[in-house]
Structure 1
Amino acid sequence: MDITLNDGKTIPQLGFGVFQVDPDETERIVSDALEVGYRHIDTAAIYGNEVGVGRAIAASGIPREELFITTKLWNSDQGTQSAFDAMDLSLAKLGLDHVDLYLIHWPRPDLDRYIETWHVFEQLQERGLATSIGVSNFHENHLDRLIAASSVVPAVDQIELHPGFAQGPLREYLAGKGIATEAWGPLGQGKYDLFGMSPVADAAAAHGVTPAQAVIRWHLQHGIIVFPKTNSRERMAENFDVFGFELTDAEMAAIDGLDQGLRVGSNPDTATF
């Protein structure tokens, strides 16, 4: 299942994330994901595992045009020359001549370099080094300022998003701007008992699926791009097998009701790492 971005390019709605995947294990884990059927891989410079992702891609034999690869610029590389250099380094580590999506990882408003950096991203896109460009962890105020100062609206905003922190107002804002929503931490990162909550457990039982599958399906039916992370090939396969059932309106509404503003990660307005 693909989503068309505001630049006319398409992105697989279900992908595989490698946040906190051990660099020494990344090649094996991404190879497993590609064998299971994933074609969208989400990494980042700060994860330290772009090399492993690249090796898995090279070993897979899958044609490049069938893959969708995302990486992200780390905060310390915001700025003009450093952003160009960071892209060169990421491409070298990945063994690719372009990525399908390049994201500014965090706004870091205290640095006040994300506008300058976005102008670099526009040039990277023009040069074909990034097919699509976007942001991660940007709030409405960050995006308003960026859009006003540039000629390219971000294709996506990757944000913390899971049933306990559903980000309704931000998702509505993004939709109004034509920006696709991507979810990181879509299963809550195990930081609260999401799978034990009755709307999730009941939906899973009703469809004969795992709670994780029910939550991934919730994301998909809301039009969210999602990439669950696991080191287990069995769970990879389960997480990918979410197109044979559909949550009812009542089940979707019940899971929607779990939203408690339960942020489990850092707040982009104040994060300074």
Structure 2
Amino acid sequence: MGRIFVLGAGAMAESFIKGVLHDEAVAPSDIVVMNRQNRARLQELTDLYGIGQARAISDAADADVVILSVKPYDIATALQGMLPYLNGQLLISFAAGIPIDFIEQATERRAQVIRAMPNLPVAVLAGAIAISASKQVSATSVEHAKGLLAQLGVVVELEEQMMDAATAFSGSGPGFVSYFLEAMEQAAVQLGFSAPMARELLIQTVLGTAKILQEWRLSPAELRVRVTSPNGTTHAGLNVLNERGMQDAIAQALIQAANRSQEMGQQYTAKV
């Protein structure tokens, strides 16, 4: 799939590297990684995955694909340094909230820009990745990007106006789901389960529920109806959740997260 230059050496960069090397989709010799600090971290990645360390930002000039895996507040500096070495590469940005137009202006449209929002489960190759491509990106390059990112999980292409919502829904989703599961686990302990047993039952319940939804092709609402007998145990518990306004709370949480994604984009691009 061509040579890949990865800027950034954090958890998301490592997840990408791990994913594309899985099943030998990309050869380790075709990947180089660079970050601004922490040489020990770079050495860790090169030792673990057999990839190369970039000598300088200028190595991006020889890449077919540039992965921009930096924090939103670092993106302007990163793009400024990379600008002289862009010559039509496919540039995939993982920076939350940063719009395509900003990246294109900062790079003087010298790259084919795709904005991506991977979530944490890409670390175990079970992620949900939303992408949006600039109109300047060829159909071939979009498919190339999808092919790379599909090694990390499920890829969904969206209009860019939906990317802040995707950041809230699938990006922050693991945090929201974990918060709910945390409450379930604590309640299980209060009911008398040991903490290890509560955790084991919790994880299997979640895995099994997700598998049923996927394999039986049911909506969550359909599955809920199937397991809810009139005046049964599930019905009794759901009544409490409805009385406490759980659905509205979840909706508001997603709205706030989407708004924050938009605010971050405005905040970090306004400084330039």
- After TM superposition, the score normalised by the length of structure 2 is 0.35
Larger radius of gyration: 2
Choose between structure 1 and 2: higher helix proportion.
2
Higher relative contact order (CA 8 A, sep 6+): 1
